[in-house]
Structure 1
Amino acid sequence: MKSNEVKGIEIKLVCTVPADEFQALYQDAGWWRKDYTISDAFLHLIPEKSALFAGAFFEKKLIGMGRALSDLCSDAYIQDVAVLTAYQNLGIGSMIVRFLIQELKKRGVDWIGLIGEPGTSLFYEKLGFRQMKDHIPFKLE
């Protein structure tokens, strides 16, 4: 499945991506610690086991991604939206999020949430997301 091809960028659902390109995205986003010893096999599981994994490609190279964790019938969470620094501020992140929303809605998902990093509020608000009042995100420690 493909979305809009803008300026040579293709957004599509995939189940696998090259491990080195996937790791490069996580490193570029600051989500990868130097002491990680994660195998390529593990990196292949993330797109495979996500409900939806959208890759942004330029000249067949993975330059951005986003994924949805979901039951694919009612609720979903979008996470890990990342675009390589060299390709940021071109609208690719927005394309990825819109594409994921469209694909989730096609499947009947009517509740879509996410937890954004500090400083990303405006980005997500422009895409229709609002802070949930009276809700606090939690993480098991």
Structure 2
Amino acid sequence: MTLWTLFFKNSKILSEQFDKDPKKMMLINNIQHKNEIINIYLSTSKNINLSDLEKLCDSVGWIRRPLKKVKIAIKNSFLIVSLFQISERENKLIGFARATSDYAFNATIWDVVIHPEFQGKGLGSILVNQIIKDLREAEITTITLFADPEVLSFYKNLGFLSDPNGIRGMFWYPK
């Protein structure tokens, strides 16, 4: 019996979203947050509530994307990693990241987001490191991502490098 199952057998917030999912594990147990004891769980399930994801992205000021397309993007992602705050009062999506891949050599990390209340606590690093771990286990050798200038140092601290041979990537956008 996993910690996950034990927690929910005694919890007031039993949820089909979390119940008996082997792709979820306790990350942080019994921490204080806003005068409440919470647990934080990591999940690699693609079963994401799109409304909760939209709220998370809104919390950091991202531009809204059509939920129909977000659903397709998640479905076609190679892997998903999410973080959830679990307390006596609520289940709350507090972190999310995903990766796409050619399933052989290359992968790209997308949509790394941590709720502002939880930023600066190492959870973004946990998300990215979990994705890297899972991609390396799948023998993916090249991992890329796109980053805004204000988060470049975050990714550099995790081992990402700007292209040492100069920018070789190119983009096509509709006119």
**Segments of 4+ in structure 1 off by > 4 A?**
none
1:140 maps to 172
Indicate which of 131, 143, 149 corresponds to 1:118.
Answer: 149
- Please report how far the alpha carbon of residue 118 of structure 1 lies from its aligned counterpart in structure 2 after TM superposition: 1.2
Query: Which residue identity does 1:135 align to in structure 2?
Result: I
2:55 maps to 24
Query: Which residue identity does 2:111 align to in structure 1?
Result: D
Query: Which residue identity does 1:131 align to in structure 2?
Result: S
Gap runs ≥5 in structure 2? 1-22, 30-38
SS in 1 for 2:149: coil
2:78 maps to 51
Q: Structure 1 vs Structure 2: percent identity of aligned residues? A: 26
CA contact (8 A) 1:14 1:54 kept: yes
- For 2:60 and 2:170, how far apart are their aligned partners in 1? 22
Q: Normalising by structure 1, report the TM-score.
A: 0.86
1:77 maps to 108
Q: Normalising by structure 2, report the TM-score.
A: 0.71
Query: Which residue identity does 2:27 align to in structure 1?
Result: E
Cα RMSD for the two superposed structures: 1.8
Query: Which residue identity does 1:52 align to in structure 2?
Result: L
- For 1:4 and 1:99, how far apart are their aligned partners in 2? 14
1:68 maps to 99
CA contact (8 A) 1:5 1:11 kept: yes
CA contact (8 A) 1:51 1:67 kept: yes
- Please report how far the alpha carbon of residue 47 of structure 1 lies from its aligned counterpart in structure 2 after TM superposition: 1.9
1:12 maps to 43
SS in 1 for 2:27: coil
How many pairs are equivalent?
137
